Structure 1
Amino acid sequence: MATLILLRHARSAANGSGILAGRSGGIGLDEIGARQVRDLGGRMSRIPLSALVSSPLQRCQDTVAELAGAQGLTVTSDERVSEVDYGAWTGRKVEDLAEEPLWKVVQQHPSAAVFPDGEGLAQMQARAVAAVRAHDARVTSEYGANAVWALCSHGDVIKAVLADALGLHLDGFQRIVVEPCSISAVRYTDTRPFVLGINDTGSDVSRLVPSADDGGAGSEAVVGGSTGR
């Protein structure tokens, strides 16, 4: 199967101010995020992408705009990989939300967490994983097992997809760290997924590109690799 690069959007204005942006519109990148996007272009320049899928929210679209232009790709927006619907929590300060009784459930038993007037984290994982696997099958069918494609989404969404790929119960997904503009990678197969990297923020990720003669097995994994912004 193809290789999937999971890209969290670059740092947004909400990240910098400690606000839970959720699905709010008009949340763009801050100055640090803009610099991360410029660095991302260099890091991804040696990875020929066959497809680029993104959450429709502005902070994701802003993260992939230059990458799409450089690679001559049209971004496919998919609501199924959009941010969690945090409902009544949307727009509130994270430090205030930490005082809510539900916060402990979100951190310790997320599979049971349902946001007021919003969705549950288990519901989010189901929609996101279904979307990722459908896009991966499509890319593999159209471009072959050595294809590489990228999906730009949000922290909790990517953590949920990685938890599924790792065979980890959703209640353990808070153990996974996915920083702004980090790269993680997964390769799905007929039997099980292989996680090739998590939360890489600085290393050479071109090694994720499978060689033409390895049958899609790929090269050595990139794990961790946080070497700066």
Structure 2
Amino acid sequence: MDWRNKISWDHEDQLYAPKRKVHNKGSREFNHVIGSIPSRKMSRHISYESLWGEGLFYYFLEIDPLTVRYYPQPVIVHHQKVNRQFVLEKKEHVPDTLVFRRGSVPHLFQIKGGDEIIEQQPHLYRACLDYCNERGWKYSVERPKTLPKVVKDNLQIIMHFKNPRVDYPLWIPEILKKMAYYENPTVDYLARSFSAKTDFRNILPAIYHLIFLGELSTNILAPIGPSSVVRLGDLSQELLPYVGIGE
């Protein structure tokens, strides 16, 4: 589905409002750092319970040009579990994120952060999978913590330039115009091509901002910096092997 043609998200905003509050429960067992990121796509701050779990995954969603909208803690999944007294109890589970992505049905995600791979309990996985199958959705368990360090570092750099600056409208159209006939220039070369008009260091943030917006792409397996080669396009294909959203 092409969710870009959807006129209003008011119904989904209400239906998939967070079903629980972000907390630091379990921080003694895992190195959780709660916080939030400003979301351009959701026009509000999105809270996370683990910087390298949910927080990093939300970085993906903000950068991914195909992601139209996403909802943290969106639904309640009912399931049953045998307690220590061997009594079957009814429980509630709130998965982490519901993603609406161009060309795909809604996709529900459980995010597993931590230094080691942590599998979701089988009964929870089955309950979430059944919940999604009943609605024609997809379900996945993702582990952004297992990303290579260079990829995580690059995503943090890109997110640092997510906010527009007052001078960007002056330079961005010309940057994109130059990219139409430059053949895979480096960030430094592209920035210095403006030397007759301004200090090249004024152009660098705009180039990184264009990478965030999905107008320019680069190799995220190498540290992003002045020597990075850029090209027209976005990072969605670079990120898919690590995120699994398109699967």
Structures share fold, TM-score greater than 0.5: no
Bigger relative CO (Cα 8 Å, ≥ 6 apart): 1
The TM-score with structure 2 as length reference comes to: 0.27
More helix by share: 1
More strand by share: 2
The TM-score with structure 1 as length reference comes to: 0.29
